[in-house]
Amino acid sequence: MLSQSQSLIARSFTGVGSLLGVTTALAQTAAPALTNAPLTRLPDVIVGGRADDLTGIAASATQGTVGLDHLRARPLLRPGELLETVPGVIITQHSGAGKANQYYLRGFNLDHGTDFATSLNGMPVNLPTHGHGQGYTDLNWIIPELVTRIDYRKGPYAAQDGDFASAGVADMTYATSLPQSLWQVAGGSFGYARGVFASAPKLGDGTLLYGMELMHHDGPWEQRENFWKGNGVVRYSVGDDALGWSVLGFAYRGEWTGTDQIAQRALTGNNAVPGGFRVGRFGTLDPTTGGTSQRYGAQAEWHRSGGNSTSRLLAYAYYYDLDLFSNFSYFLNDPTDTTPDQFEQVDQRITAGIKASHEWTTTLLGRESENSAGLQFRNDVIRNSLNTATARVRTSTTRSDNIWQTSASPYLENKTQWAEKLRTVVGARADLYRFDVASQDARNSGTITDFLASPKASVIFGPWAKTEIYLNGGMGFHSNDGRGATSTIDPATGNAASKVDPLVRTFGAEVGVRTTWVPGLQSTFSAWWLDIDSELLFVGDAGTTEASRPSRRYGLEFANYYTPTRWLTLDADVSVSQARFRDRDPAGQHIPGAIETVVAAGIAVHDLNGFFGSLRLRYFGPRSLIEDNSVRSTASALVNLQAGYAFNANWKLTVDVFNLLDRKASDVEYYYESRLRGETINPNPALNGGYNDIHLHPAEPIGVRVALSGTF
């Protein structure tokens, strides 16, 4: 017979899987709350909606799982928007669609992924010491139809979470099988076309899943984006949750012409100036920017669960390549207006790693307890460079580097149920990093190692009336670009440069509440705080990130998921935060681009006599663009619609409408200096001949996509 705590663990999640119908063991989501009763293996459950009902399981109020139904019940303008199912996350873009998205969460402009750790089946996606931005996270190679769940955590409180995890963690899981083969063809506004096919036949003792995607999109831009991408996935799985293994291979290539952000003054400029510098809202100030990217790799996984222990082993390796041409300042560097400020960033790498973990139960002071031990190892062999270019032709090399970046990270964690209404999670991890940089300029070469130990602890009280209270605290970190850790000379100017710390400490704490007291309603509330010893900031005219001043953030999050009936769900999430530099500087205390307010809400209808659909609102509030807060961004409120009809069990038609109200909003806004063609050179030496201005990338106008899909 199960104890009260174990009965709580066995609570079923609301909803059932629809298209893929993939089941997953609850034991893989989080460790059970243990009592003195004998351990009993619980049955598998299906995660359908957003599984915030983790009472008796989760270690914090901001830990959760997004299931299949919730992932499918929203239109996706881009694959990265899968992560907007995580409460408080905003996904945007500031250039061509082939680049990594811009991410915002918990008072951060995370640029292309810094301080937000993302993974697929446990394989890390963030790329350290990247040619374009630290922690670069490109999700264009993810096929959304194959993602069956997203597990997320916020804050540096879990021992298994390391680099880039201080703001949050999101782990996407690909399917291992499909109940039926699936296909989809879609077309829509701005030259959009897409085809997907996936199948999972039985093969020998296992299941062979394979999927393919081909997509084209021009976008609303005056210079057609002509974004082409191709994706392929193959996965072979054998066994079950008790004992099994799988291997997965993936391949991706994309190429595009990008429209970078444009200076606001160019929208009202003067075409009478020789050469002119007025452009339309969807115009470009350099029509030759864009790039190519590719990723090819594999991962192998083995797991065993039996008796009182569970073991997992993951090994992965992939090749990655990006060749990116950008121009954010136009003609700032050439007063003759003959050579644009275009630059090329190249990143090529081979990444390989291992993640091993073992969990076992024991007795601690007479109480049953679960222990976890793990080891994470990763090695990146990187070759990247920064070059000047004109019309995608390289003209010179500013710097070129070969980097070996290696990390080894063991961790331990203990979960103990001390009483019926009290449990704890206590852990620690150690991170040892080595950076070996061979630079074009020998003065920027070198080898450096760094080490951090990060303790973490959580205390959980309850449940009372289906409500739990969480206290969380812990230390985390993010790594800096390895080149910055060894550089002594600025390669662009020849001036002396200061080395940065390879690993930067973060400190976080949180108090939260989770309740399912109201039938059908799952709600969480949290108040959080996070300190960082050195902020990573996006430098607009350089197109990269650099280490900056120490910072502090704190905020409130309120998330709700309501299922009043089988066919209807409603969700509403509100996040507010404040971000400030901790030291005193005449420039000011505000952190440029730091997100302050996010509101996400939606209503979804599931299979109402064959009809389904959703209506979603995303509000992205104004934020400071400069340290003294004298320049602020505009806010954006976008509404997306999905409507569809299932003709039968095998055929359905879906219509997605993006930016339903056709709002003239900005995806991103920055504030920095630039100079347009034909613009008078500014005599102020502090501005290098340019002018400070807001630079924006507009959100796409109203657009429609129609998809016909089926199974067989």
Q: What does the angle CA 145 – CA 151 – CA 152 come to, to the nearest 5 degrees?
A: 125
What percentage of residues in the chain have a pLDDT greater than 90?
80
**pLDDT value at residue 490:** 87
Q: How many CB atoms lie within 10 A of CB 472?
A: 27
Per residue in 85-115, is it b (16+ CB within 10 Å) or e — as a string? bbbbbbbbbbbbbbbbbbbbbbbbbbbbbbb
d(CA 54, CA 29) in angstroms, rounded, equals 9
Element (H, E) at 552: strand 551-565
d(CA 103, CA 99) in angstroms, rounded, equals 12
Residue with tokens 């739990």: 468
**How far does CA 8 lie from the centroid of its chain?**
31
Given a contact cutoff of 8 angstroms between Cβ atoms, the answer to whether 345 and 326 are in contact is yes
Mean pLDDT, range 606-616, rounded to an integer: 94
pLDDT at 360 > cutoff 60: yes
Mean pLDDT, range 179-190, rounded to an integer: 97
d(CA 388, CA 384) in angstroms, rounded, equals 14
pLDDT at 418 > cutoff 90: yes
Report strand pairing: 544-547 vs 521-532. unpaired
Tokens for 503? 């690993």
pLDDT at 80 > cutoff 60: yes
The sign of the CA dihedral 187, 190, 191, 193 is negative
The structural domains of the chain, ordered by start, are 4-289+297-711 (2.40.170.20)
d(CA 397, CA 408) in angstroms, rounded, equals 33
pLDDT category of residue 21 using cuts at 50, 70 and 90: very low
pLDDT at 562 > cutoff 60: yes
pLDDT category of residue 12 using cuts at 50, 70 and 90: very low
**pLDDT value at residue 686:** 81
- pLDDT tens by residue, 254-287: 999 999 999 999 987 765 554 556 889 999 999 9
pLDDT category of residue 494 using cuts at 50, 70 and 90: confident
d(CA 196, CA 95) in angstroms, rounded, equals 25
d(CA 149, CA 13) in angstroms, rounded, equals 13
**pLDDT value at residue 56:** 86
Q: What is the pTM of this model?
A: 0.90
Bridge-partner residues for 605, per DSSP? 568, 613
